[in-house]
Amino acid sequence: MWAGVIAVLQTISMLGFSVSMVIVSLNIAVSLYVVSGLWFGLWGLLGSMIGMIIGNSIGGMPISIVLLFQICTIFEITLPMWAFRKFNCDPRCRDAKSIIVFLVFGAILNSLIGSFWSAWYVFLGQTAPQFWLYGVFPGWFGGEAVGRAILGLVALWVLSPFIMRFRGYVPNEPGRWLA
């Protein structure tokens, strides 16, 4: 189910790609798939990767670039997943520690690495000109960081209490990655 949600959101974001390259940096799917590891552990990672492959492919991105993006997707989901387990954080983000860990690992560090990776591989895949690597990176980083910080935190505050009741939820305990 999560793969379908991510696929639809990514397709919408990718179809906006031809209108403006700024829309890609405000990608809703990317903002929300970061929290999937906090809720569903490795199943969230797998579902998000499948959803991103489907959404990017429908959006017209070459399959070679789509698959290279998945290396970054692994990093972007597992980094906050690892940090929440390492620092014993609550996915509902009801305390300052959980919010700060999410902002640092789920928004800022993720967006820094993810934006560089994305701009670099779009350039290498020859789907965009060279200026993307230098000119678009700051906007891509800013859009992703703000989107992840706002949408990610709102999703954690609003949806976590409901998701934590379901069988597929994986508690953020050290060493626990599967339901």
Q: Encoding tokens for residue 50?
A: 């499948």
Task: With H, G, I as helix, E, B as strand and everything else as coil, classify residue 89.
Answer: coil
Amino acid 39 reads: W
- Spatial separation of the C-alpha atoms in residues 4 and 32, rounded to whole Å: 13
Whether the pLDDT of residue 179 is over 70: the answer is: no
Q: Which residue has the higher pLDDT, 18 or 53?
A: 53
Count of domains forming the chain:
1
In a domain, 173, yes or no: no
pLDDT of residue 92: 95
In a domain, 117, yes or no: yes
Report the mean per-residue pLDDT for the chain: 81
Reported as a single tens digit per residue, the pLDDT across 70-112 is 888 899 999 999 999 999 999 999 999 999 999 999 999 998 9
Q: Which residue has the higher pLDDT, 6 or 93?
A: 93
What contacts 13, CB < 8 A, 6 or more positions away?
A: 23, 24, 26, 27, 28, 29, 30, 55, 59
Amino acid 36 reads: S
Share of the chain above pLDDT 70, in %: 77
Q: Is the separation of the CB atoms in 136 and 119 below 8 Å?
A: yes
Q: Is the separation of the CB atoms in 81 and 40 below 8 Å?
A: no
- Spatial separation of the C-alpha atoms in residues 10 and 172, rounded to whole Å: 26
CA atoms within 13 A on the CB side of 46: 7
pLDDT of residue 20: 44
In a domain, 171, yes or no: no
In a domain, 172, yes or no: no
In a domain, 174, yes or no: no
pLDDT of residue 18: 41
Reported as a single tens digit per residue, the pLDDT across 130-153 is 666 677 777 778 888 888 899 899
In a domain, 169, yes or no: no
pTM of the model: 0.84
- Spatial separation of the C-alpha atoms in residues 120 and 105, rounded to whole Å: 21
- The whole domain housing 149 covers 2-163
Long-range (24+ apart) CB contacts under 8 A made by 118-123 are 118/69, 118/72, 121/65, 121/68, 121/69, 121/72, 122/65
In a domain, 53, yes or no: yes
The residue-averaged pLDDT of 157-165 equals 93
- Spatial separation of the C-alpha atoms in residues 120 and 130, rounded to whole Å: 9
In a domain, 57, yes or no: yes
